[in-house]
Amino acid sequence: MLANLINGISLGSVYAIIALGYTMVYGIAKMLNFAHGDVIMVGGYIAFYSITLMGWPPALAVLAAIVVCTALGIVIERLAYKPLRSATSLAVLITAIGVSYFLQNAALLLWTSNTKVFPNIFEKLPGLRLGAMQIAPVTIITVLANIVIMVTLTLFTTKTKMGKAMRAVSEDKGAATLMGINVNRTISLTFAIGSGLAAIAGVLLCTAYPTLQPTTGSMPGIKAFTAAVFGGIGSIPGAMLGGILLGVIEIFGKAYVSTQLSDAIVFAVLIIVLLVKPTGLLGRKVNEKV
């Protein structure tokens, strides 16, 4: 029971970190970046090759993944989404799905469909013993990383000038522009942060579930998107809450109901929550299109 709870929180922490990317981009650019999940996969591959091919230490590999994904996020936004800034939201959504397939297929070409086994980068770190239960280091690090990211990001958005600019752009792009805020730069920054976080999530995910394929990012991406909606899209604490709840529900579903039905349970919970509270758990009134 406790072991399942801890596993659930750990998995949920990964979802939460990914969900942050969805929720921040949605909050500021008012779009759903469905390619976000695939950025996780790219992060995983970069870390994988940094370790296995280059022989870099894990910390450097994580850094490399963050740098590449951050750049990738900025490039995706600049090339695929920026030209559509004034297009209908449906056009942007379809483009995002296109980018997602593009990344998956590019990965297929570059890295083939062979499943890679991700090394356990936290091998040397000690686990934690709670009575008879052993908690893996990756579990602890995932939860800690989630907490650190959440606190840093909250402070960043509330206390720094870039964070305030993000919130201003999220409310009224036109007024923000006329008050001297560079909206394009602010949106770029949001993508950079979201994608950098996706890289961290990618490494954590691949360490906990050590298989890596070009499609590795899509299911966690969809689940994290679900988590973001579940918690209230656009809300940072909502992404955290939604992610963790989703992780716990998934693991409990697997443990006590059925391994095969666990995903169905996750999405059923989402549907029920949205029926009762359409804005999500912590969502405020949403008057924006999808």
182 is a site residue for other proteins (CB under 8 A): yes
Buried b or exposed e, range 113-138, using 16+ CB within 10 angstroms: eeebebbbbbeeeeeeeeeeeebbbb
**Which run of H or E residues covers position 249?**
helix 236-252
- Size of residue set near other proteins by CB under 8 A: 25
Q: How far is the CB of 234 from other proteins (least distance, A)?
A: 11
- The interface region with other proteins, picked from 8-16, 102-110, 133-141, 177-185 by CB under 8 A, is 177-185
| Residues in contact with other proteins, shown as a per-residue x/- string from 124 to 153 under the rule CB under 8 A | ----------------------------x-
Euclidean distance between CA atoms 261 and 281, whole angstroms: 24
- Interface with other proteins includes 177 (CB under 8 A)? yes
Q: Could you tell me the smallest distance in angstroms from the CB atom of residue 66 to other proteins?
A: 13
Residue 286 within binding range of other proteins, rule CB under 8 A: no
38: exposed, middle or buried (Cβ count in 10 Å: 0-12, 13-18, 19+): buried
| Choice from 105, 171, 211, 256 touching other proteins (CB under 8 A) | 171
CA distance 226 to 52: 33
DSSP letters for 108-141: HHHH-SPPEE---TTTTS--EEETTEEE-HHHHH
| Contact between 181 and other proteins per CB under 8 A | yes
161 lies in the site for other proteins, by CB under 8 A: yes
Stretch that binds other proteins, among 167-175, 195-203, 245-253, 255-263 (CB under 8 A): 167-175
| Binding flag, residue 120, other proteins (CB under 8 A) | no
Q: Which residues bind other proteins (CB under 8 A)?
A: 152, 155-156, 159-165, 167-168, 171-172, 174-183, 189
